[in-house]
Amino acid sequence: MEQLITKTRLENGLQIQLKEIHSSPIISSWVWYRVGSRNETPGITGISHWVEHMQFKGTRQFPPGVMDKIISREGGMWNAFTFLDWTTFLETMPADKIDIALKLESDRMVNSVYDPAEVASERTVIISEREGNENEPMFQLGEAVQKTAFSNHPYHYEIIGEMADLKTMQRDDLYNYYQKYYIPSNAVLAIAGDFNTDEMLVKINGYFAGLPSSKPAIPVVTPEPAASSAQLVEVSGPGETVFVQIAYHAPEAKHPDFFPFTVLDSLLTGPSGLNMFGGGGISNKTSRLYQKLVESQLAVGVHGGLSATIDPYLYETTMTIHPEHKPEEAIKAFDEEIDKVLQHVVTDAEIQRAIKQARALFVYGAENITNQGFWLGYSEMFSDYSWFTEYLDRLSKVRPDDMLRVARKYLIDQNRVVGIYRPTAAKGM
């Protein structure tokens, strides 16, 4: 993918990424902040997610509810997301209405109010969200696996945070965190769509250049030591379905092993998209673990995923166990299939198909203007835009020996956590 973008930086440190796309009269604008649960410490877990919510609670210029009505009236959409390494806010608007988004984001970068009543109201909302998650088997299982996999690194915590912290954090904790991280020098403004670059730069300078500058805070992150033994964690709770999640410690996005691992993921469970907006879903029925587990009716579903992160994270495979089988049977079959890969009982045709499917899903996930805006900023959170533009070429260069080396390096017992969710309603499981 040819890198036809304009990249610059304002004097206050705000990084600008612009990409003209004249296929439709639409512009997608994203503000990315380099802050997520990776920045959190015990006592304030979940604060990044909560601050994201508070950014919709208004400024003096745009009181609560005003912007939602304006954006809806003009035919636009807006949203926000918090992840391990970042928080992002987006608006996709008709091209002639993009000033609305720019004016809003420049204002709430520095002028969000954090009214105590709104903080209290949102506490109730987020605690309710956490309580709802705790009734979901996959949340319980995923949280248990994540906490077991990381003992030192802040990836230990779920993005929504610990219940005890959600009950005790105060308005000033949130506001101070906002002031610390929501600053121009810690942000990327990424805009894709139907505009003239010179004219857009004038607009951006008008809205953002006057915002105060300060040095970005650098989080102190404790590295996770290499795993020394396999770990098993079991969770029980409501429901009737048994789930298994097997998580291997995996490389960060900038590591040379990431792309061979992406092909390995495609081979084992089918390609997984990195773009939150997806696009052009590809069936995983040709994948190794689908054929091994689902076609034999040991599981009714299997999927995997590899995340692009700053620090090493996890490669997770989740199985929904067939009601007539036990999780241990599915784990045994899983291990048999992994052993075949480690012994290189894989054809070149399978590997080429895995590469082709991974490439196709990536292309589908970069088709529309909103997705293009996403990639402009997202890739900067853990690498730079060349990571996106060189993605397809790097996949194409993966060779069978590369994938085998990565499989033998990471898919080993001592590098994994096995989690089992046993519902209390499923007797004898």
pLDDT at position 220 over 50: yes
pLDDT of residue 1: 44
Q: How far apart are CA 373 and CA 24, in angstroms?
A: 14
The tokens for 288 are: 């190794």
pLDDT of residue 227: 87
> Does residue 28 sit in the same domain as residue 174?
yes
> Does residue 267 sit in the same domain as residue 413?
yes
**Confidence at 346, pLDDT banded by 50, 70, 90:** confident
Which residues, in sequence order, are bridge partners of residue 420? 234, 244
> Does residue 183 sit in the same domain as residue 235?
no
pLDDT tens for each residue of 90-107? 999 999 999 999 999 999
> Does residue 112 sit in the same domain as residue 150?
yes
Lowest mean pLDDT among 139-143, 337-341, 348-352, 383-387: 348-352
Domain membership flag for residue 224: no
Q: What is the mean pLDDT of residues 370-376?
A: 94
**Confidence at 427, pLDDT banded by 50, 70, 90:** very low
Domain membership flag for residue 202: yes
pLDDT at position 425 over 90: no
Q: What is the mean pLDDT of residues 38-60?
A: 97
**Confidence at 80, pLDDT banded by 50, 70, 90:** very high
Listing DSSP states for 54-95 in one string gives: HTTS-BSSS-TTHHHHHHHHTT-EEEEEE-SS-EEEEEEEEG
What number of helices (H) and strands (E) belong to the chain?
Answer: 16, 11
Domain membership flag for residue 429: no
Instruction: For the chain, give the percent of residues with pLDDT over 70.
Output: 96
Using DSSP bridges, classify how beta strands 6-9 and 299-306 pair: parallel, antiparallel or unpaired: unpaired
Which residues, in sequence order, are bridge partners of residue 12? none
Q: Using CA atoms of 104, 109, 111, 116 in order, give the dihedral in degrees to the nearest 10.
A: 110
pLDDT of residue 345: 84
| CATH code assigned at 252 | 3.30.830.10
Instruction: For the chain, give the percent of residues with pLDDT over 90.
Output: 85
| CB-facing half-sphere around the CA of 149: CA atoms within 13 A | 28
The answer to whether residues 376 and 385 touch, using CB atoms and an 8 Å cutoff, is yes
Residues in the chain: 429
Domain membership flag for residue 164: yes
Domain membership flag for residue 220: no
DSSP state of 420: E
Phi, psi of 260, deg, nearest 5: -60, -35
pLDDT of residue 414: 96
Q: How far apart are CA 22 and CA 38, in angstroms?
A: 37
Q: Does 361 or 384 have the greater pLDDT score?
A: 384
Q: How far apart are CA 195 and CA 205, in angstroms?
A: 15
**Encoded amino acid at 293, one letter:** L
Domain membership flag for residue 48: yes
pTM: 0.94
**Encoded amino acid at 156, one letter:** H
> Does residue 155 sit in the same domain as residue 270?
no
Domain membership flag for residue 96: yes
The answer to whether residues 52 and 100 touch, using CB atoms and an 8 Å cutoff, is no
> Does residue 242 sit in the same domain as residue 170?
no
> Does residue 240 sit in the same domain as residue 147?
no
> Does residue 125 sit in the same domain as residue 260?
no
Looking at every residue in the chain, the average pLDDT score rounds to: 93
The domain boundary, picked from 174, 208, 242, lies at: 208
Q: Where are the beta strands (DSSP E) in 238-312?
A: 243-250, 299-306
The answer to whether residues 341 and 267 touch, using CB atoms and an 8 Å cutoff, is yes
Number of compact structural domains in the chain: 2
pLDDT of residue 429: 44
> Does residue 319 sit in the same domain as residue 366?
yes
Domain range holding 296? Answer: 231-423
Please give the angle made by the CA atoms of 315, 387 and 94, to the nearest 5 degrees: 105
Q: How far apart are CA 227 and CA 248, in angstroms?
A: 10
Phi, psi of 362, deg, nearest 5: -60, -45
pLDDT of residue 248: 98
- The closest alpha carbon to 302, from 288, 282, 315, belongs to 288
The tokens for 59 are: 């400024």
pLDDT tens for each residue of 229-282? 999 999 999 899 999 999 999 999 999 999 999 999 999 998 877 776 555 556
Any residues with CB less than 8 A from the CB of 232 and at least 6 apart, and which?
417, 418, 419, 420
> Does residue 285 sit in the same domain as residue 396?
yes
The answer to whether residues 246 and 388 touch, using CB atoms and an 8 Å cutoff, is no
Any residues with CB less than 8 A from the CB of 129 and at least 6 apart, and which?
160
The answer to whether residues 322 and 426 touch, using CB atoms and an 8 Å cutoff, is no
pLDDT tens for each residue of 281-317? 567 888 999 999 999 999 999 999 899 999 999 999 9
> Does residue 87 sit in the same domain as residue 29?
yes
Domain membership flag for residue 216: no
